[in-house]
């Protein structure tokens, strides 16, 4: 009987917290495009995209970036893949005639997301740098809505809401459901925390905009590419958590653009590889919050840790998007908390593992 009361209290707690979080998320208003904007995509935006194994959807993703007409797109890969990426760009250019965007393809000797990003950032000419994954699909008006947020001179970074890019014509896999559900839940969490106190636990690296003066700063670039866990393990993934912490420590404000016109989409894996991604993301977030406890001033530390707990402790299964799904997926969603618990424990126990397992990349300990 006591167990019944405990479970009932927990259920009521989660229900109330989910309701409050949802209300807070819905009250965060989109930032409108001004009549006379200070920034325009074709003059001010450089898009930096690190890639290694470009998949079939990479071509379609590039077309969505070009449709936003940025000043330039800088794609950074490894030296052995430069010609392959250039051939893809040639094919894309035949489909995108009329766009004035300059597309550059750069190479680095060894695969590494952060060093690839740093190379692209150093070459960027725009006053606003948008970092994007190679599987991010943009709506046509994404950049104008992102740039609207930079009208506030105190804002250093802008995040986006996300959804799963899936086909309604093919059966939905279990892993796609879980990944899409995670994206939807994250949209609510970051919108709610941003509305409550302006805080954000972590910008997603799928698509995020920053002022170039932040990313091109020499001290940032050095710290970004010489980031060691416990002084021994060079970190390559976790770039988004690093940049978010940097904005906190340097005093920049952060915002989330909630306009539907700025919601990006991304492919979600249909295989158990999703578990490898989840473990990597969990390791990155744990390392980041441990660092917040020791390296961020008291008030900001309290804010970041509170945002983290707010996001982690309040989960609720709900329909992630309008897609017919088997009933078993719904019940699996109800058990998602128990399912992720052993993964969390494993991630905590293996924080020294800095390999990018889902991409088959081992991170060297020296640059």
Tens of pLDDT, residues 15-31: 777 777 788 888 889 99
Q: Are 316 and 14 in contact (CB under 8 A)?
A: yes
State what percent of residues in the chain have pLDDT above 70. 78
Band of residue 93 on the pLDDT scale cut at 50, 70, 90: confident
Selection from 28-32, 229-233, 267-271 with the highest mean pLDDT: 28-32
Band of residue 279 on the pLDDT scale cut at 50, 70, 90: confident
Domain-embedded: residue 12: no
Band of residue 356 on the pLDDT scale cut at 50, 70, 90: low
Domain-embedded: residue 338: yes
Q: Residue 204 phi/psi, 5° resolution?
A: -80, 135
Angle ∠(208,214,220) on CA atoms, nearest 5: 105
pTM for the whole thing? 0.84
The domain that holds 100 is classified in CATH as 3.90.550.10
pLDDT at 267: 85
Number of structural domains found in the chain: 1
Tokens found for residue 195? 């509305």
- Mean pLDDT, all residues of the chain: 82
Selection from 25-29, 98-102, 168-172, 204-208 with the highest mean pLDDT: 204-208
Domain-embedded: residue 16: no
Tell me the longest C-alpha to C-alpha distance in the chain. Answer: 70
Q: Are 54 and 134 in contact (CB under 8 A)?
A: yes
pLDDT at 39: 97
Sign of the torsion angle spanned by Cα atoms 348, 351, 357, 358: positive
pLDDT at 16: 76
Tell me how crowded residue 311 is: count the other CB atoms within 10 A of its CB. Answer: 21
Domain-embedded: residue 285: yes
Q: Using one digit for the tens of pLDDT, what is the confidence trace for 191-200?
A: 888 888 787 8
**Mean pLDDT of the region 314-335:** 51
pLDDT at 166: 76
Band of residue 234 on the pLDDT scale cut at 50, 70, 90: confident
Whole domain around residue 47: which residue ranges?
Answer: 38-359
Residue 367 has pLDDT above 50, yes or no: no
Q: How many helices and strands in the chain, by DSSP H and E?
A: 14, 12
pLDDT at 25: 82
Band of residue 154 on the pLDDT scale cut at 50, 70, 90: very high
Tokens found for residue 231? 């002084």
Residue 335 has pLDDT above 90, yes or no: no
Q: Residue 156 phi/psi, 5° resolution?
A: -105, -20
**Mean pLDDT of the region 208-231:** 94
pLDDT at 101: 93
Task: Give which of 53, 200, 52 is closest to 114, Cα–Cα.
Answer: 52
Domain-embedded: residue 8: no
Domain-embedded: residue 23: no
Residue 301 has pLDDT above 70, yes or no: no
pLDDT at 338: 59
Residue 84 has pLDDT above 90, yes or no: yes
Task: Give which of 304, 284, 283 is closest to 292, Cα–Cα.
Answer: 304
Domain-embedded: residue 64: yes
Q: 13 or 234: whose pLDDT is higher?
A: 234
Alpha helices, H only, 216-297: 218-225, 239-250, 273-295
Residue 67 has pLDDT above 80, yes or no: yes
Give 5: exposed, middle or buried? Use CB within 10 Å, 0-12, 13-18, 19+.
exposed
pLDDT at 152: 96
Q: Are 50 and 82 in contact (CB under 8 A)?
A: no
pLDDT at 349: 77
Strand partners, 46: 72, 129
State the Cα–Cα distance between residues 137 and 140, nearest whole angstrom. 10
Q: How far is CA 300 from CA 25, 199, 254, in A?
A: 21, 9, 13
């Amino acid at each position: 009987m006591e167990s019944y009361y405990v479970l009932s209290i927990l259920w009521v707690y989660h229900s109330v917290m989910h309701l409050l979080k949802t209300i807070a998320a819905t009250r965060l208003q989109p930032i409108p495009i001004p009549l006379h904007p200070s920034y325009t995509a074709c003059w001010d935006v450089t898009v930096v995209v690190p890639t290694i194994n470009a998949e079939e959807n990479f071509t379609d993703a590039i077309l969505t970036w070009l449709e936003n007409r940025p000043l330039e797109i800088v794609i950074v890969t490894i030296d052995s893949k430069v010609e392959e990426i250039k051939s893809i760009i040639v094919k894309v250019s035949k489909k995108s005639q009329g766009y004035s965007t300059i597309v550059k393809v750069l190479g680095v000797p060894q695969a590494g997301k952060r060093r690839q990003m740093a190379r692209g950032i150093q070459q960027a000419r725009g006053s606003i740098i948008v970092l994007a994954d190679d599987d991010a699909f943009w709506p046509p008006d994404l950049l104008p809505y992102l740039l609207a947020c930079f009208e506030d001179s105190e804002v250093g970074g802008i995040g986006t809401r996300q959804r799963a890019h899936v086909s309604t014509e093919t059966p939905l896999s279990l892993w796609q459901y879980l990944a899409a559900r995670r994206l939807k839940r994250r949209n609510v969490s970051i919108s709610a925390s941003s509305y409550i106190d302006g805080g954000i636990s972590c910008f997603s690296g799928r698509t995020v905009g920053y002022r170039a003066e932040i990313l091109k700063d020499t001290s940032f670039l050095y710290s970004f590419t010489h980031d060691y866990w416990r002084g021994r393990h060079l970190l390559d993934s976790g770039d988004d958590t690093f940049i978010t912490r940097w904005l906190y420590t340097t005093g920049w404000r952060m915002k989330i653009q909630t306009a539907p016109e700025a919601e990006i989409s991304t492919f979600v894996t249909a295989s158990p590889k999703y578990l490898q991604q989840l473990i990597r993301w969990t390791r990155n977030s744990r390392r980041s919050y441990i660092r917040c406890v020791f390296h961020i001033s008291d008030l900001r530390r309290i804010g970041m840790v509170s945002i983290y707990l707010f996001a982690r402790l309040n989960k609720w299964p709900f329909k992630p998007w309008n897609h017919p799904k088997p009933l078993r997926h719904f019940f699996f969603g109800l058990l998602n908390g128990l399912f992720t618990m052993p993964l969390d424990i494993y991630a905590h126990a293996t924080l020294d593992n800095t390999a990018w397992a889902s991409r088959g990349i081992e991170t060297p300990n020296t640059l």
